[in-house]
Amino acid sequence: MNRRQFQQALAALALPLAAPAARAQSWPDKPVRFVLSQPAGSGPDILARQIGDQLSRLWQQAVIIDNRPGGQNVIGAQVAARAAPDGYTLYYATTAAMVTNVFTFKSLPYDPARDFVPVRLVGRSPFVLAAAASFPAKDLPDLIARAKAQPGMLAAGTEGPKTFSGMVLDSMAATAGIKLNQVPYTKAPEALQDLLGGRLQLVCLPEAALTAYIQGGQVRALAVSTGKRLPQWPQVATVAETLPGFEFTGWNGIFAPAGTPAAVVARINADLDKVMAQPETAQRLAALGTMAEGPMSPAEFGSFMKAERERWAVAVKTIGLQPE
């Protein structure tokens, strides 16, 4: 082999290593699509548009929001899972689509773990156990004591037994060894009206749905579902302070179809770090009841997802939830 042939052979060996880096450098050269399972105007939609607008400035390409609501996230998840794994279609997903659907459906037409690769966690949304200001219980230990003294006599409004709020409530009650009568509502404001009207004693709802009522003094927060107290409500204890290890939050995250080049995933992750570091992003998320997440690599997000699935598997077994 002469010198020229040797150099050509070295160049040929380097091509497979250079290709992913070259793809990441040239990506994106056309618009990027965010698939959402929620309708336009919903909380996730507003957040996705905020993040998409800022990414479009970085990328000098449009970020198109493709709303595919319905089927309890199944429609949107399928669209995203079947998209070409080239980095031009991303799935802006919630806890339900990527974790809890596995436990509430007997079968899913997509596999959250197999059909997607994690890109980055965007933010976490606390849930709050609350009562009307006139309710005698002042905190969670007081509530537990009253529930044990009056088994099955306290009614709690949620978004439904197989929704996040319903499962959080049932898991908390089971862990505490109490019985609460869960009353499902299709809209949070309806549950709050019944709470204020005395037809309910409790609600378990997203923080965003309760903030105005708590600030107005009509509703008292008894506990939050996060592992740590919320900076905006430092006086409100976590459930975990009474029931150690209890931690459940809703979240938003970005995923790519399985097979998307790792270099492209890393590029999107790095650009999301830049967007999430901007104060206006954190402020926008906070206004919608979501805590912005600090830097998180795709591998760290993958570990987070594994822990979430394990956490929910235990919770579902504890409450005896049956898939349909």
CA dist 127 and 208 (Å) reads 9
| 108 and 203 co-located in one domain | no
**CATH number of the domain that residue 166 is part of:** 3.40.190.10
In the predicted structure, residue 9 carries a pLDDT above the cut 70? no
63 within a domain of the structure (yes/no)? yes
Number of domains composing the chain: 2
| 80 and 39 co-located in one domain | yes
Share of the chain above pLDDT 70, in %: 93
The backbone torsions φ and ψ at residue 203, rounded to the nearest 5 degrees and listed phi first, read -140, 150
CA dist 322 and 103 (Å) reads 8
The conformation of residue 64, written as its DSSP 8-state character, comes to E
pTM of the predicted protein model: 0.87
3 within a domain of the structure (yes/no)? no
Which of 241, 273, 298 corresponds to the end of one domain? 241
Q: Which two tokens stand for residue 246?
A: 């209890």
Q: Is 71 exposed, middle or buried (0-12, 13-18, 19+ CB in 10 A)?
A: middle
| 179 and 278 co-located in one domain | no
Stretch (H or E) spanning 202: strand 202-206
| 121 and 131 co-located in one domain | no
Q: Which two tokens stand for residue 102?
A: 């596995």
Range of the domain at 144: 127-241
324 within a domain of the structure (yes/no)? no
| 119 and 142 co-located in one domain | no
What confidence tens digit (pLDDT) does each residue in 50-64 have? 999 999 999 999 999
112 within a domain of the structure (yes/no)? yes
Q: Which two tokens stand for residue 98?
A: 């990527």
Segment 20-25 long-range contacts (CB within 8 Å, at least 24 positions apart): 20/261, 20/262, 20/263, 21/263, 23/261, 23/263, 23/264, 24/261, 24/263, 24/264, 24/266, 24/267
Which of 190, 219, 241 corresponds to the end of one domain? 241
91 within a domain of the structure (yes/no)? yes
What confidence tens digit (pLDDT) does each residue in 173-207 have? 999 999 999 999 999 999 999 999 999 999 999 99
| 86 and 73 co-located in one domain | yes
**CATH number of the domain that residue 96 is part of:** 3.40.190.150
The conformation of residue 238, written as its DSSP 8-state character, comes to B
* Closest listed residue to residue 264, CA positions, set 32, 12, 47: 32
30 within a domain of the structure (yes/no)? yes
CA dist 167 and 158 (Å) reads 9
10 within a domain of the structure (yes/no)? no
What confidence tens digit (pLDDT) does each residue in 226-249 have? 999 998 899 999 999 999 999 999
| 149 and 113 co-located in one domain | no
5 within a domain of the structure (yes/no)? no
| 169 and 266 co-located in one domain | no
